[in-house]
Amino acid sequence: MVVTLARRSMLFVPGMDERKVRKALSIPADSIILDLEDSVPVTEKDRARDAVTSFLRDLDWGSKEICVRINSIYTENGLRDLIALSKAYRLDCIVVPKAESDLSFIYRLTGIEIVPIVETAKGFISLESIATSEGVSGITWGPADLALSVGGDLRSFENSSYIRIRIALVANAYGIDPIDKVYFSIDDLEGFRRDCIEAKKMGYIGKTVVHPTQVEVANQVFTPSREEVEWAKEVVEVYEQALKTGRGAVKHRNQLIDAVHYRIARRILERASTQR
């Protein structure tokens, strides 16, 4: 299942920080992820959970997709999070960290869409089981925890084309949103832009982001450009005209246009139509 909303930028916000949560209302991220996991000390989990459920009920989120990253489902706090969120007034998506197996039970319990984060070795080798879980509409990954799970080097995992491409391939194979990893160097916006462009080339439709300054860049990169849209419109028109004359391929601007190019063009136009 593919959602109709764009997920060019999915911004993590500490769930118990009211100032940052309220500020997120004015940030043009497609999705806001209220975090109950890494940004919340163990001693503050209950208070953060209460705060997030209050924000979901009381704040006007407009057209944004509102998500909550819960604690690991293999912990007591993760299960408490699920129980609390199953009664939430407004919640579009549950982000599940350290996903390692089928997550269908979460959707059956809550009725809320799921975006797993693959960030352990076991999760990576279980990609297809995770991606095909009931209710999963997108998938992302975390290089830091993934490196930690195998005792590896963070930079090597951040730069791994193998991991990145495999996650994008599995997501696209099963019709869910491939959402790329976070970029930790928040002051390096040019590096972040290059990272976004590389992810887009691999088939990702957006980024998880950790700072408001990254949002605009992600939105720009993952929105089809005017040139891309114009090319796509031309290809659709030329190819559909060719089909009417019984041809399955046609030359256009010194390029052979066939069914594959047509499907790529249609996808670009579909993505463009979902942007806010």
User: What would the pLDDT profile of 195-250 be if each residue is shown by its tens digit?
Assistant: 999 999 999 999 999 999 999 999 999 988 777 777 677 777 777 777 778 777 77
Output the DSSP codes for 181-209.
Answer: PP---TT-HHHHHHHHHHHHHTT--EEEE
- Each residue of 141-187: pLDDT tens digit? 999 999 999 999 999 999 999 999 999 999 999 999 999 999 999 99
Q: What is the pLDDT of residues 81-126, one digit of tens each?
A: 999 998 888 899 999 999 999 999 999 999 999 999 999 999 999 9
pLDDT for 200 = 94
Distance between alpha carbon 211 and the CA centroid of its chain, in Å?
A: 15
Sign (positive or negative) of CA dihedral 142, 145, 149, 151:
positive
Tokens of 92: 């579009």
Please give the pLDDT value at position 255: 79
Answer whether 249's CB lies under 8 Å from 262's CB: no
Residue 192 reports pLDDT greater than 60: yes
In this predicted structure, the answer to whether residue 5 has a pLDDT above a threshold of 60 is no
In whole angstroms, how far apart are CA 31 and each of 21, 115, 120, 204, 276? 12, 12, 24, 16, 11
How distant is the alpha carbon of residue 265 from its chain centre? Answer: 22
The two tokens of residue 43 are: 């001693």
Report pLDDT digits (tens) over 58-83. Answer: 999 988 999 999 999 999 999 999 99
Q: How many residues does the chain have?
A: 276
Using alpha carbons, list the distances in angstroms from residue 15 to 11, 12, 211, 230: 12, 9, 14, 41
Structural domains in the chain, CATH included, are 9-222 (3.20.20.60), 226-274 (no CATH)
pTM, to two decimals = 0.85
**What pLDDT score was predicted for residue 63?**
87
